[in-house]
Amino acid sequence: MDWNDTCWDQVIAEMIEMGFEYSSIVEAIKVVGPSTPSAVEHILNSTTGEASTTQTSNSDARHGNALKERPLSTSRLVRQSKIFDHFHSNDDVKEHKEDLPQLAIDPNPIVLPEPSEAQYLDVDCDWEQKISNLMKKHFGFSSLKSFQKEAISAWIAHKDCLVLAATGSGKSLCFQIPALLSGKVVVVISPLISLMHDQCLKLTRHGISACFLGSGQPDNTVEQKAMRGLYSIVYICPETVLRLIQPLQTLAESRGIALFAIDEVHCVSKWGHDFRPDYRRLSVLRENFSTSKIKSLKFDIPLMALTATATKRVREDILKSLHMSKETKVFLTSFFRSNLRFMVKHSQASQASYAKDFHELIHVYGRKKNIDENEKVFISDDSDQLSNSSNASGISDTDSVSPDDMDDNQDDYAYRDVNIMHAGNTDDFLTEKELSIEFLENDIDGFQSVDNLDVTHGDFCVLPHKELELSETTDPPKKPEGRVKILKEPLEQGPTIIYVPTRQATLRIAKYLCKFGVKAAAYNAGLTKLHLRKVHKEFHENSLEVIVATIAFGMGIDKSNVRRIIHYGWPQSLEAYYQEAGRAGRDGKLADCILYANLASKPSLLPSRKSEAQKKQAYIMLSDCFRYGMNTSCCRAKILVEYFGEDFSHRKCLLCDVCTDGPPQKQNLKEEACILLQTIGANNGCSDSKDCLYDDDIHFDSNYRGPRERPNLKMLVGKIRQQFQKFSTTDELWWRGLARILEVKGYIREGDDKTHVQAKYPEPTELGWEFVKSNEEAFYVYPEADMLLARNLMNKPFSSFSEWGKGWADPEIRRQRLERMGVNRNSGMVSSSKRKRKRKGRKVQHDLRTSRGRLGAKLSKYK
Ligand SMILES: Nc1ncnc2c1ncn2[C@@H]1O[C@H](COP(=O)(O)OP(=O)(O)OP(=O)(O)O)[C@@H](O)[C@H]1O
Ligand SMILES: [Mg+2]
């Protein structure tokens, strides 16, 4: 035989993993040669479907019942074998060894406890050692992290489990190991095709057969093969699972399904940051893969749900929505990532601020000042495609914003990529082959020479985080030596991901960086899949330095050495922010997570088709994010992990900007707080405010009926400026910050029936009035980011608002302004829809005037 041994070994190893018998494999290879697909086809299509069974029975005699009950033919439905049926006994392996000395067979064959024992599995049992060997063989590391151990124990005990562990902590291993251990198929439900690609590539590289099914998989033979049990791990998008229930049931009865893993399971919940309605329908898994539905099953097929970002409410929703068992084990690990350095920086986050904000990046990566023609290709071709694709779908990045989705400020919003999988028809440039799993598998050749693709397997605890346990009262905190050393160390080399809210921004920033010799590329769902795949590949190969992406890039993407995650513009939630920031520093080394946001402007909700309840929730999440940005006094990592319900009360990260720069000086704002509360009360017709000093200069309808007629914060600040000389040049921004502090203290609340990122139509609470009346002299607080910003603005001759505040004394100016604000002396405030109509009318008039003007100018030429 002239085939070389390595080839043989590889094919045999792959096929044993798929669940085929050694003897059948050898027979098949003798006929078709050492090619896995051909050998698989041969076995499955062979008229001796029985042949394999016959051989199986021969080998059964040698291997015992365990192997006998592993079916190879889909036509033969047998009872679901136990998980342990698939572990080889020592004898089995010895026999294999004798037959095939060259084959790298696990020297420590797996012997698992009896199923009865497994119900109460002791983690010190031998199975851990077996897993360790498998891990060493496939992944190059040998010990499970404790949450992985627990999740696998739950699976062995046939229990459902919910795994909540930090980004990059190794959740995938929890469902990969069951595939290796049991010889059955693990079905992984995953939301993004890019993520499925990524994981399949990695698994294949580690010698584990895997495929993905879904809209991005044009090769329909892959689906058939998967349903016949030819892949150990099958990634499926939720829509496809719903379509494939029946074939999956057949698979469960033939080769067997070890587990349904629902990755990124926060997508199930409406209260999460990335709700996908199809995920919610995954309760079909419990209904259709239970002992009551499939008679040959002895246990319901376990569900394993995994995510890095789920609040308590989301967790509860997941358990309920997926109909997970009442005995579901919930494994919660720390969300804290001790090597991530969080920072927030004020920026317009627009083209005007690129030079200032990307100065450092250019310094790190840039090589030249002139545009290199080669580097232009990263973006130039696709910018045309982008405009085509967005026009074709009728969505322009900025046009699709609905005014209803806006809060006061309308800064960074636009159409946002929702899901690369649903991104429309951008496949035109891709051949079928290029999207097939075979192509993906071939792709790994390109990766093999790249050291860095294979992530290092560092735990995140490499930084001395024990030292983080500090007393909050130490002010300034004592910085332990280990941490100080880390702070002084420069960031190691590695790529950067910049997250932006719009597709246009991806292109603009990538282009800008390329100009300075940075190897940058844009990534958004409007670009062709060809481009996206190229970006992925180059990112993994380390030939790209910066990726400028929308949310389409990243979820679950595992690259060890990402050194910076920059968010350029407000994220929509802390869940999304932490999920994206979690791409950084997976090697355990120091990495930066910087949020550049316009701290002078409230973030807006991006347009989407959300129900009222969802929109309300989205505003709450946006508000949390806004407050994270405004915070100046609390460790950022603490805010983030506590957001997910973790107790971090006596700890600080000592890396973030707040920990390192320290909070600003506390200020006594008793007077200002009382004035604000009383002004609010006076304008809310509140009886407690009768003894206030302010006459109601802006006459709102005294018979106002509903909360919508309340003055908003901006107007209230106008009143304060007008009535108090000492505050006449203060900035609205500053008062906005104070109002937020009062809201957090419970002194004011939202008077509107809508949810806003902070109280927009504030009204005082009982507690607020008590505070005003109290004899407490002082009200010391840390000024928030917008207050500090306003203070800087006030150092200038006039801030925009102080200019605005100045004219209020003049009755005519006041009248005009009130009119512009939509306040009618007789009827109170006009409704927002009236205001909108008015604005529209004004715009039409303006357009008419300008076109008339232009026409006039043209005509005048001919006079
Ligand atoms: N027990 C372990 N020991 C060492 N490294 C591990 C271990 N388990 C997993 N890893 C490594 O951790 C890295 C991250 O794993 P994985 O992609 O599963 O993270 P994740 O928790 O799914 O993250 P995300 O939430 O971002 O999807 C992988 O490169 C993996 O090889
Ligand atoms: Mg993952």
Ligand 1 center–CA 175 separation, angstroms: 11
Spatial contact of 118 and 156, defined as CB atoms under 8 Å apart: yes
Ligand 2 center–CA 264 separation, angstroms: 7
Spatial contact of 561 and 591, defined as CB atoms under 8 Å apart: no
Q: Is the distance from the beta carbon of residue 588 to the nearest atom of ligand 1 less than 6 Å? A: no
pLDDT band at 176 (very low <50, low <70, confident <90, very high): very high
What is the number of the ligand closest to the CA of 262? 2
Closest ligand 1 atom, CA of 144?
Answer: 1
Q: Which residues pair with 521 in a beta bridge?
A: 547
* 476 prior amide bond cis, ω within 30: yes
pLDDT band at 690 (very low <50, low <70, confident <90, very high): very low
Q: What's the complex ipTM?
A: 0.99
Ligand 2 center–CA 33 separation, angstroms: 36
Nearest protein CA to atom 1 of ligand 1, as residue = 144
Closest ligand 1 atom, CA of 456?
Answer: 29
| pLDDT (0 to 100) of residue 370 | 47
Ligand 2 center–CA 164 separation, angstroms: 11
What is the number of the ligand closest to the CA of 307? 1
Residue with tokens 């595939």: 179
358 pLDDT higher than 70 = yes
Nearest protein CA to atom 23 of ligand 1, as residue = 168
Nearest protein CA to atom 16 of ligand 1, as residue = 170
Mean pLDDT of 505-520: 95
Residue by residue, DSSP assigns 538-550 as HHHTT--SEEEE-
Pocket test for ligand 1, best of 143, 233, 457 (most atoms within 8 A of CB): 457
How far apart (Å, rounded) are the C-alpha atoms in residues 130 and 143? 11
Spatial contact of 174 and 156, defined as CB atoms under 8 Å apart: no
Nearest protein CA to atom 25 of ligand 1, as residue = 167
- At residue 708, what is the residue type? R
Residue by residue, DSSP assigns 293-347 as T-TT-SSPPPEEEEES---HHHHHHHHHHTT--TT-EEEE-----TTEEEEEEE-
How far the first Cα of the chain sits from its last, in Å, is: 98
330: Cβ contacts below 8 Å, ≥ 6 apart: 161, 162, 164, 315, 319
How far apart (Å, rounded) are the C-alpha atoms in residues 63 and 240? 37
Ligand 1 center–CA 554 separation, angstroms: 14
> Within 13 Å, how many C-alpha atoms sit on residue 354's CB side?
19
Ligand 2 center–CA 172 separation, angstroms: 5
Mean pLDDT of 505-519: 95
Mean pLDDT of 185-190: 96
Report how far apart, in Å, the C-alpha atoms of 514 and of each of 19, 374, 377, 382, 531 are: 49, 10, 10, 14, 16
Give the pTM: 0.67
| pLDDT (0 to 100) of residue 627 | 96
Spatial contact of 230 and 209, defined as CB atoms under 8 Å apart: yes
Residue whose C-alpha is closest to residue 737's, from 627, 658, 811: 627
- At residue 275, what is the residue type? F
Q: Which residues pair with 762 in a beta bridge?
A: 750
pLDDT band at 174 (very low <50, low <70, confident <90, very high): very high
| pLDDT (0 to 100) of residue 482 | 60
Pocket test for ligand 1, best of 137, 146, 147, 171 (most atoms within 8 A of CB): 171
Q: Which helix (H) or strand (E) holds 10?
A: helix 5-18
Question: Quick one: DSSP state of residue 104?
Answer: -
Structure tokens at 415: 């159409």
3-state secondary structure 242-287: HHCHHHHHHHHHCCCEEEEEECCHHHHCCCCCCCCHHHHHHHHHHH
Helix/strand/coil for 733 = helix
Over residues 207-237, the pLDDT tens digits come to 899 999 987 776 778 999 999 999 999 999 9
308 pLDDT higher than 70 = yes
What is the number of the ligand closest to the CA of 308? 1
353: Cβ contacts below 8 Å, ≥ 6 apart: 347, 596
Q: Is the distance from the beta carbon of residue 455 to the nearest atom of ligand 1 less than 6 Å? A: yes
What is the number of the ligand closest to the CA of 171? 1
Q: Is the distance from the beta carbon of residue 172 to the nearest atom of ligand 1 less than 6 Å? A: yes
Spatial contact of 110 and 132, defined as CB atoms under 8 Å apart: no
Helix/strand/coil for 651 = strand
Pocket test for ligand 1, best of 202, 265, 558, 559 (most atoms within 8 A of CB): 558
What is the number of the ligand closest to the CA of 263? 2
Taking every pair of C-alpha atoms in the chain, what is the biggest distance, in angstroms?
A: 108
852 backbone dihedrals φ, ψ, rounded to 5°: -65, -40
| pLDDT (0 to 100) of residue 770 | 93
Closest ligand 1 atom, CA of 167?
Answer: 25
pLDDT band at 404 (very low <50, low <70, confident <90, very high): very low
Ligand 2 center–CA 195 separation, angstroms: 8
What is the number of the ligand closest to the CA of 202? 1
Q: Is the distance from the beta carbon of residue 718 to the nearest atom of ligand 1 less than 6 Å? A: no
Nearest protein CA to atom 6 of ligand 1, as residue = 457
Nearest protein CA to atom 7 of ligand 1, as residue = 170
Spatial contact of 215 and 255, defined as CB atoms under 8 Å apart: no
764 backbone dihedrals φ, ψ, rounded to 5°: -75, 155
Closest ligand 1 atom, CA of 560?
Answer: 29
Q: Is the distance from the beta carbon of residue 584 to the nearest atom of ligand 1 less than 6 Å? A: no
* Kind of pairing between the strands at 828-829 and 823-824: antiparallel
How far apart (Å, rounded) are the C-alpha atoms in residues 702 and 699? 8
pLDDT band at 435 (very low <50, low <70, confident <90, very high): very low
Ligand 1 center–CA 457 separation, angstroms: 8
How far apart (Å, rounded) are the C-alpha atoms in residues 846 and 393? 31
Q: Is the distance from the beta carbon of residue 141 to the nearest atom of ligand 1 less than 6 Å? A: yes
Nearest protein CA to atom 8 of ligand 1, as residue = 170
Pocket test for ligand 1, best of 141, 173, 176, 195 (most atoms within 8 A of CB): 173
Q: Is the distance from the beta carbon of residue 256 to the nearest atom of ligand 1 less than 6 Å? A: no
How far apart (Å, rounded) are the C-alpha atoms in residues 722 and 132? 73
pLDDT band at 734 (very low <50, low <70, confident <90, very high): very high
What is the number of the ligand closest to the CA of 190? 2
Cα angle value 702/706/708 (rounded, 5°): 100
What is the number of the ligand closest to the CA of 166? 1
Q: Is the distance from the beta carbon of residue 556 to the nearest atom of ligand 1 less than 6 Å? A: yes
Q: Is the distance from the beta carbon of residue 169 to the nearest atom of ligand 1 less than 6 Å? A: yes
How far apart (Å, rounded) are the C-alpha atoms in residues 165 and 139? 20
Ligand 1 center–CA 168 separation, angstroms: 5
Over residues 578-631, the pLDDT tens digits come to 999 999 999 999 999 999 999 999 998 877 666 778 788 889 999 999 999 999
Over residues 456-469, the pLDDT tens digits come to 222 333 344 444 44
